[in-house]
Homo-oligomer: A and B are copies of this chain.
Amino acid sequence: MNTRKKIETTATTTPPLQNKDVSSAARDEVLKRVEKDYEEFKETHTFKFPTWLYGPPKGKLIKIEVEDCPRFGDTAYVEFDSARTAFLSIDMQVDFCGPKGYVDVMGYDLGLTSAPIKPIMHVLDAIRKGTDVKVIHTREGHLPDLSDAPYNKILRSKIIGDGVGIGDVPQGGMGRLLVRGEKNWDIIDDLYPVPGEYVVDKAGKGGFGQSNLPLILKNLGITHLIITGITTDVCVHTIMREANDNGYWCTLLKDGTGATDYGNYQAAIKQIKMQGGVFGWVSDSGKLVKGLKSAFNSETPSK
């Protein structure tokens, strides 16, 4: 009791710290750093891997060209450390790009959501040839008891599906739509994970609120993300927004993603590039593969 009283007395006689007083030194340091990096960017057009922040690279430094960097024409680059980079393949499940899956039942054109399959295969092929880039596959799906599916989500899916929604089996279908463990819920054969890759299950469109993704990224020491998958304007954009808010450097490969509507796909790409890259950067599979091959010298695996 005595101790407590003393603390209270101290608190009332010592004025509380003013944000203004303590914050200026830290702020000035940040602004000095950003000024320096801004000047360097004007010379190099490159968002360099910030070793002052993360330390020296653990893997190889890779530089890829990104689109439309504001105020500097359309040639700019993002540089990343291969060992601190995760390649995300988002929701490449039968339910989103295969026959009798969720998207098919809703009546959308599977041509649009299956378009990114080949570009993603191309990238996976390059990554799997001895690079240390981490590969993370995500799957959207709900527990078999549906307890992690918001009720309004199930109801809306039932309406758009003309009576066949999440948890139902469509006519001629492989299993219950968007339910974990069903064949239609799993990743398509062409892009199936190989040993050493990671699979993250999520109950929402995003990955930071309804899955272990943020923890896994931290545990793996990831700083940069290369993003692909479907659908661009829904799950892909939601994860990219969350990751960007959390400080990850996010680059979307625009041929490695697709939407249920082509206009929405195009808008989703454009939305990323607003405000100087409000959610990150846009590149494509060819540019990434070129960067990987150049860094890993094609036939010379690093380990």
Contact = CB atoms under 8 A, between A and B. Distances in A.
B209 A167 contact: no
Interface stretch (A6-14, A122-130, A265-273): A265-273
Contacts of A24: 144-145
Contact of A206 (B149, B204, B242, B278): B242
Contacts of A146: 23, 26-27, 30-31
Interface string A205-216: 110111000000
B144 A19 contact: yes
A154 B34 contact: yes
B209 A242 contact: yes
A245 interface: yes
A206 B47 CA distance: 24
A220 interface: no
Interface stretch (A82-90, A156-164, A189-197, A288-296): A156-164
A155 B47 contact: yes
Contact of A151 (B50, B237, B279): B50
Nearest to A207: B245
B205 A208 contact: no
Nearest to A102: B275
A31 B271 contact: no
B157 A276 contact: yes
A153 B53 CA distance: 14
Contacts of A275: 103, 106, 156-157, 160, 234, 260
A147 interface: yes
B41 A155 contact: yes
Contacts of A154: 30, 34
Nearest to A277: B156
A300 to B, nearest CB: 31
Interface string A10-43: 0000000001101111110011011101100100
Contact of A69 (B20, B159, B234, B263): B159
A170 B33 CA distance: 18
13 contacts: A34-B154, A34-B165, A34-B167, A106-B276, A156-B275, A156-B277, A160-B276, A206-B245, A209-B209, A210-B245, A234-B275, A238-B241, A263-B270
Interface of A: 19-20, 22-27, 30-31, 33-35, 37-38, 41, 47, 50, 53, 69-72, 103, 106, 143-147, 149-163, 165, 167-168, 181, 204-206, 208-210, 233-234, 237-238, 241-242, 244-247, 249, 260-261, 263-264, 266-268, 270-271, 274-279
- What are the nearest 4 A-B pairs in CB distance? A160-B276, A267-B267, A204-B245, A150-B247
